[in-house]
Structure 1
Amino acid sequence: MTARTDILCIGSVLWDVIGRSASHMRQGSDVPGRITRLPGGVAMNIAMTLVRFGMTPVLLTAIGRDAEGDELVRACLQLGMDAGHVYRSEDLPTDRYMAVEGANGLIAAIADAHSLEAAGAKILRPLQDGRLGSAASPYDGLVALDGNLTQSLLEEIAASPAFARADLRVAPASPGKAERLRPFLQHARATLYVNLEEAGLLCQTEFDGSDSAARGLIERGALRALVTDGGRNATEASAERVISRTPPEVLVTRVTGAGDTFMAAHIAAEAEGTDREAALDRALHAAATYVSGETPL
């Protein structure tokens, strides 16, 4: 390997356009609020939290060579990430995500990650050409991987020699993409980060809580699983041990990115050598602080 890095963040890096209102909303609601545009995407959200915990993430993603893409790359660099291995496409636009949130949570969202999907395996070239790894010397560090990639590319990653030594941390981009993670359900080096609904979709059943969901994933072959359930208990499980913790009670002011913050904080804690109980506590505290509207540190 020709480079050493703290962690690779592979997946969606795009612009988040989020409309938030303090009012309860339903279909057809027209209410006052605020609309923001910020760097986002699962891989980006994870990377931003990792930076706040002192890590230097390397982004592997697709960003267009358009004005929005140039602005996004500058934002990544200013935030302290390594964007030197990003695939920049001449003919694909920079991806976007749009969501509407009310006092009663996420109302609706649309993820336009078509450019990432179209770029496909091109985003992984640095892991094969010697910049970050090669067939002779595969990358052997941490990898945060998100489910915005296509099913075929995720299957390729699960079987690829380029990831044979990596510590894979995998999360779906949304419940609608949870089943894309099936190739990692019996993977020897993958830790799954899912919510209760996503765990049920992966196991093709319904669970009544994070404890049963995490156990269910382990029974179906997962190496390790972390399952969150909003303000209720979160569980981290492996074949050896099951740990559950209750998140702090906070006033929820935002929800988009909470799961990504949880995952990143947990990865950062374990990278520092924190034990399993403390790592889960730290991740839950970071996520609770994030949804309350504060900075998760």
Structure 2
Amino acid sequence: MAKNTSFIPCIGSVLWDFVGRHPHAMRLGDDRPGRITRQTGGVAMNVAATLVRFGARPTVLTCIGTDPNGEDLMAACREKGVDTSLVLRRADLPTDRYMAVEGANGLIAAIADAHSLEKAGGDILAPFRDGRLASAEAPYRGAVVLDGNLPETLLAEIAEDPIFAAADLRIVPASPGKAQRLRPFLSAPNATLYINREEAGLLYDTEFRSSAEAAAALAANGCARVLVTDGARPATDASPDQVLTAHPPIVEQRCVTGAGDTFMASHIAAEAAGHKRSFALEAALQAAATFVSGQDIA
């Protein structure tokens, strides 16, 4: 299959986000007034929806139930311009959900109920094996987004699968608790990791003082490429032959859930458009900052 820079498969979680937001700082155990919203979510979906806004043509590979929540979710994905033709539908599995509580000081707590994606496992990858996207005779070429919500065993299989050997793998752990799932990709020559400073530390069982220190350590230990963010502090893009660091814009924090996915999608879109690494990093930081501030990134 010929490489296509605008068509991007996004593999992983597509679910409903239930997010409660309070406009002031919160502590664990606080009971405060606010707003609760339901919106499309999941790393694969968030990245795909942002890619659409930058002119790409993403398709999501995931598992969505045939329950009413699933039907609503499929319709919502299509309304955002995200292709769902390759989604695995399962009547025996409920549609996944995510619940978060946020304050002005960031994320207070969250629970991801992605058990259906876990149970579906490798079945969601059928289009890469049956000729719809690729096959054993025609490995996939082009960018592929991988979400750390995928089962650990499946991620390990993808890292070794010849079908993905020629792909440009763009990988994000989804949360610090799932960072260690990315270890099979630390030495993959075609993998780019998108992680934060905490997740980098979890991968190496250490604590890094900055994104630059974390990214340089990963690159020195065999990582082909890694982008490390650190909230409002500088972010770093590192490979064995180049290290770039940039400062994110200073904005008032209003939205947190999905900011990292916006950074990743914006960066992929910038590089797919042919921009240099330095420009792509700056563009991704600007898009993420705009998202965090509660403004429209379009």
Q: 2:189 is paired with a residue of what secondary structure?
A: coil
What pairs with 1:148-297 in structure 2 (closer than 5 Å)?
Answer: 148-297=149-298
Unmatched tracts of structure 1, length 5 or more: none
Q: 1:136 is paired with a residue of what secondary structure?
A: coil
Counterpart for residue 20 of structure 1: 21
Counterpart for residue 119 of structure 2: 118
Q: How many residues align?
A: 297
Contact 1:43–1:145 (8 Å) recurs in 2: yes
Q: 1:22 is paired with a residue of what secondary structure?
A: coil
Contact 1:87–1:123 (8 Å) recurs in 2: yes
In the alignment, the residues of structure 1 paired with residue 295 and residue 60 of structure 2 have an alpha-carbon distance, to the nearest angstrom, of 25
Counterpart for residue 85 of structure 2: 84
Contact 2:7–2:57 (8 Å) recurs in 1: yes
Counterpart for residue 31 of structure 2: 30
What are the superposed Cα offsets for residues 83-106 of structure 1, whole Å, 9 maximum, x if unpaired?
Answer: 000000010000000000011110
Equivalent pairs: percent with the same residue?
Answer: 62
1:75 pairs with 2:76: yes
Closer, same or farther in 2 for the Cα pair 1:2/1:78, shift >3 Å?
farther
What are the superposed Cα offsets for residues 141-185 of structure 1, whole Å, 9 maximum, x if unpaired?
Answer: 110101001110000010011111110000001000000000000
Shift of 1:32: 0.7
Q: 2:275 is paired with a residue of what secondary structure?
A: coil
Runs of 4+ in structure 1 off by over 2 angstroms are: 1-5
Shift of 1:2: 9.7
In the alignment, the residues of structure 2 paired with residue 290 and residue 3 of structure 1 have an alpha-carbon distance, to the nearest angstrom, of 30
Q: CA RMSD in A?
A: 1.2
Amino acid at match of 2:69: E
1:137 pairs with 2:103: no
Contact 1:141–1:167 (8 Å) recurs in 2: yes
Amino acid at match of 1:64: G
Contact 1:172–1:181 (8 Å) recurs in 2: yes
In the alignment, the residues of structure 2 paired with residue 58 and residue 217 of structure 1 have an alpha-carbon distance, to the nearest angstrom, of 30
Counterpart for residue 102 of structure 1: 103
* Bigger mean CA deviation after superposition, 3-12 or 101-110: 3-12
Closer, same or farther in 2 for the Cα pair 1:2/1:211, shift >3 Å?
closer
TM-score normalised to structure 2 length: 0.98
Contact 2:3–2:142 (8 Å) recurs in 1: no
Shift of 1:220: 1.8
